[in-house]
Structure 1
């Protein structure tokens, strides 16, 4: 390794080419910054190449498969239905490559310099980039760290144990899979692999992280799909043998054993900070090892910012994008601020889940006197037409002011409706603000209207006996 005597000068250096990093780079370039993006692997990060996009290809395919099976009821004959897993993987790769090529073209069009290599801080204004035997030094004015995170294995990295990314790289549909976790990744894998033909069991330590009404509906839907769900368990051991894995789980001192083709673990993430040298330049970390930032994404070192998973909190692309853009705008001299209060949580299960704002428990714990309105999707006419009647919409408001505090949905159309929910809560809408507008009929949208109307007991399609 040879270190050059002179450091090349750069205005803004961004480490990490995932959603937070590349969108921060483009936003900074739009604002007149000269930007260098350093990525040790490939542009798009885990989200595009291994996580968000591959998982949605699978969940979308599984939902399509489930909808085809319903067509016979509508008079459309279906014969010889099967899943060609190798073609599904080919399709996944084609989607990834197409999207990655689009991002790369955007970086070129915005005149962003892209460097491939492992970056590390060698000073508070200097970064070294190693690629093979080459080592280059860059001196920068500002920097953004967007290096993402990786699964927290707890020492269980074994052949038949999968991560939320490697599960979508399997070469065939597994005969059976045990899932340990309660987050959106665990639910998406459980839903789509069940629909693709695998036998699925889902274990977790605590309940799903949604409103209690949505959690109950999730369990009902999973039970109907013959997915076994057990709560309160702790994963204690895994033993791979003869192409399968034996899993031990403990609850209240009692241990049970499960055997499956694979175990998927969705149990936390750790920041990608190894060999980056943040401790060398005095960047403060949280107790869990994530980078501490303020409301502008600034770290304890004033000219260095951080965005995405590496800062902890909600580990989603939405958060990474918000933080990356705020960092770029702040560096360019704009007054920009991050508010993650109303980031929607979405899960591409079948049916999908979407939630924004406070749950009933969170609202009560915060001291609000609340009222709840719920509407079952069974009462929605378009859900009946589409034969997708499972689901529920729950709306929570403060009784004193009528201001909406949370909107929680499970059912077809939920993810699209979540944008309306976010806008309503961002504008501090009251229930009357969502009742007054006209809604298209028939449509999934009407389920939101009726859940808000039910706050006042005026929903049309709720039987009086159930009110």
Structure 2
């Protein structure tokens, strides 16, 4: 390697071109800062190339499969329906390519220097970038670490990416599993389970806990719908051993730590933990503060313990969601430019592109009852929504939780058609400290799933029009 004596001068150097990194780069460029973005693989990061986008391509295809019967009911008949995993892979590759080209074009339009290479910190104001046999030095005013996190499988499981798969390799399959065993209770596990079941695979879910991680009403509805889908759920079960053979995997389960059950399948999907991607960055020479789990500690402005060095996204720990990385990236850029900006994840929405989709924000019923003296619960089933009947997607409900004393809405939980898009109304309402009347006053389009949110709010006081009196709970005390 040849080490250059002169350092290139930049306002901002960003390491990592995922959602957090490229949003930080573009926002900083918009604010007049000179930006160099270093990415060792492909722009868009794991989210675009391996995670968020591939998984949602599969989820969309699975949802399309489930709509075939409804289309037949409407007179749009299909003589033959078949699923071809190879063609879905081609479609996935096409979508990823188009989106990546869009990111590349935006970086170019904003005059961002994009370098494919490996970066490491040389000092508090210098970073080295290795590009093959060349090694360039950049001196910066500000730096952003957006290197993400790596998947870490449980100790008893070896992910071979053939029969035993993680969140990246599961969406590379070009064959449909005969029996897919899903190990995990998070949103990724649910998306995998419901998508592959819709494609025609037999699916079993193994939970280490006694339930899923959502509000109790969603958990109950999930149990009903999974049973309807003929998905077997093993609760309080832990995988202790996995044998992967040429044609199948055999999984040993410790059920309630008492008995051992053997489960056979063609493939095993494993939800993994995360480890911060900091190896090779040489951040230890900077003395950056780390959390006990090894992630980079940041404040609400995404600043590390060195205020001119920022970190965004999965490398900072917490929920591994692109929405958080995007917000932190913009906040970091705005802080560099002297603006007052912060990332507050209090009302960070949880969404699951399952079948049907799930979306939540704010307190669950259980959390609300712990924190408030009296709470009201309003719940409206989509069976009572006209538009849900039109589109043939009547499974699910919308649930609203409020404080009976102040009438402040505390949480919104949705399961069913339109939930992912509609949850933004919940986020905005909670951010604005909306009270029950604030949610009832606006006009909701008809017919639409939106009306379900209105009727859930109205159900807080037994005022929902499309619910009989016996179905409306009114106030609920803790």
| Structure 1 unpaired stretches of 5+ | none
Deviations 1:289-309 (A, max 9, x none): 111000100001121000001
Matched residues in 1 for 2:222 and 2:236: separation? 16
Match runs of 1:135-284 below 5 Å: 135-155=135-155, 156-158=158-160, 159-206=162-209, 207-253=211-257, 254-284=259-289
After superposing the two structures, state which structure 1 stretch, 315-324 or 220-229, moved more.
220-229
Number of the residue aligned with 1:353 = 358
Instruction: Give me the whole-angstrom Cα distance separating, in 2, the residues matched to 1:18 and 1:70.
Output: 38
* Equivalent position of 2:346 in the other structure: 341
Q: Secondary structure at the match of 1:7?
A: strand
* TM superposition outliers: structure 1 runs of 4+ over 3 Å: none
Q: Write the deviation string for residues 102-160 of structure 1: whole angstroms up to 9, x where unpaired.
A: 11000000000001111111222121222333222222111000111121123423242
Confirm or deny: 8 A CA contact 2:372 2:403 kept in the other structure: no
Deviation at 1:6, TM superposition (A): 2.6
Segments of structure 2 that go 5 or more residues without pairing to the other structure are 473-478
TM-score with structure 2 setting the length: 0.95
2:455 aligned partner: 450
Partner of 1:378, secondary structure, is: helix
CA RMSD of aligned residues (A): 1.3
The answer as to whether partners of 1:150 and 1:270 remain within 8 angstroms in 2 is yes
Post-superposition offset of 1:365:
2.7
1:239 Cα deviation from its structure 2 partner: 1.3
C-alpha deviation, 1:384, in angstroms:
1.5
Q: Does the CA contact (< 8 Å) of 2:166 and 2:272 recur in 1?
A: no
Q: Specify the SS of the correspondent of 1:188.
A: helix
* Worse-matched range after superposition: 118-127 or 30-39: 118-127
| Contact kept? 2:153, 2:271, Cα under 8 Å | no
SS at match of 2:38: strand
Do the aligned residues in 1 keep the contact of 2:85 with 2:173 (CA within 8 Å)? no
* Offset at residue 368 of structure 1 (A): 4.9
- Provide, for residues 315-364 of structure 1, a one-character-per-residue CA deviation record: whole Å limited to 9, x for no partner: 10000000000000001111111111112111111211111111112222
**Contact kept in structure 2, 1:180 and 1:267, CA below 8 Å:** no
The Cα of 1:392 is off from its aligned counterpart by 1.1
Instruction: Tell me, in whole angstroms, the C-alpha distance in 1 between the residues paired with 2:373 and 2:252.
Output: 42
Whole-angstrom CA distance in 1 between matches of 2:426 and 2:319: 19
Structure 1 counterpart of 2:326: 321
- Contact preservation (8 Å) 2:151, 2:273: yes
**Distance in 1 between residues matched to 2:238 and 2:131, nearest whole Å:** 41
Contact 2:368 2:410 in 1 (8 A): yes
